[in-house]
Structure 1
Amino acid sequence: MKPFYRSTLATLLWGTSAFFAPLLMATTLASAQSDPPVCPPPGDQEYLLLVRGEDEAERSDIASILPVESSVIICRYLDEVLVRAGGFTQLETVNAWASYMSSEADYESFVIRPGDQINDQTVASGSTSPETVPETTTAPVIETEPETEPETESETAPEATAPIETEPETAPEATVSPEATETQSAAAPITPTFEPTRLETGYAVLVDYSSNPEIAETLSQLVSSVGLAVYQQRPYLLASYSESEDTAATTLQELSNAQLAAVVVDAQEVVQISKSVVISNN
């Protein structure tokens, strides 16, 4: 099924990238396969995607799948040669690619957050197996642990002051509980559920957001639910999924009127990563 609409500029950019991608990948891989360097750490506000390939053929295949706009190199991490893709600024985007590479392409993937160190010192003093990478890079699991520490401290403080007076007991309750609820409510939206699922027969309306959160905010005002999906190896916002061609066409027209880069595609070619994404209204 051909898309109903796609901007001419987007089509030209995608065609140009597809043409030059093999040339760029071939040059990068040729120099990296023989003596790969140590994987550089992520920059400020940058997320990395590390993908494991067993041999040169698999690593070349991985590099051809990853987005052209990300800086893809072959490098060493923990005495293992991996494919490194950088330049991701949104956690949801890099998680979507990690889920896609694991579930659809069948390559084991790891996400490295900003601030994580990837160098020889980490290899020497850190874990001895790459299997521990997801534990150190899975943001939702680790970010919830510091929230429980103030609770244990607040519980021990009233016990020490309880024999003196009853006032210190009420004071910590008044100051600690609002902070705990605020941190819990603030942390809750950071843990979206990623369940890669290939859509069935129907029509999917996708929006190219180019890692711009403002586009997701605009889209959330036009549709009831904004999801995250992968189509033709690229992440998109999922505006709607319906079996009705007329419904999809109507939604497409509304999004086009709002100056959004929307497209209707065959739903069976779309992998839904998340049913809903967290939209920050700062």
Structure 2
Amino acid sequence: MFGLVTGMERQPQWLRPWGAIARWTLVLSLLGGVGVVSKARSQSYPTCQPPLNDEYLVLVVTEDEGAQNRVRALLSPQMNGTVCNYLNDIVTRIGGFETVELANQWAQYLGENSGLSTFVASPPPRTSGGNPVTPSVSSPGRFDPRPLREGYAVLVDYFNNPQVAVQLNQILNRDIGLVSYHQKPYLLAMWTEEEGEANRILKQLGDRGFFVLVVDSRNVFLLRGALTLY
């Protein structure tokens, strides 16, 4: 839900509805493990506000006061970190970045120095149009989940809508895989060893309104190398 970066170990009701939905384009830098936070605890915090127009956010997973204090100590005086609830994760939201490069630099800096997971988020373009007929997606074959090789994985959250896989196949003209990332299914749009290529696809898909992540592929488990679309 948040294109990233060098050195990676690597929706709520927004301005418009989330899900069908005003999505953020994400760049994800996994520089630490994402813990399990109780839903009730995370909901005690306000929902994170989305980025403003032409603004990039850095979100850091800060599940407790100690983590929040570590992040706060790393911020420059003019920065304001707000603790909020993002998809039932407790995060510290830092806004005001004018370029994705600057946001990525801060995400990497905060992740490396705090040991916490960091996200970069940017608003997608406004899109319009009706909902197309949803075809079926099947994934036959032997179930043999295995981690991807070292590199960058471009993942797309399809929100249980198989039409997303069909659209990706048409746009990228390549097979679309199915993967698991932190025990959540995603479509695999691309694996590459080149950060620049991963970020290019991230921007291409993000500009079309897809919910895209670029992550360390070693944390991604391949479920199906190519989905059968019909």
Give the TM-score, by structure 2 length: 0.42
* Higher gyration radius (CA): 1
Q: Which has the higher strand share?
A: 2
Which fold has the larger relative contact order, with Cα–Cα distance below 8 Å and residues 6 or more apart in sequence?
2
Higher helix share: 1
TM-score (structure 1 length as normaliser):
0.35
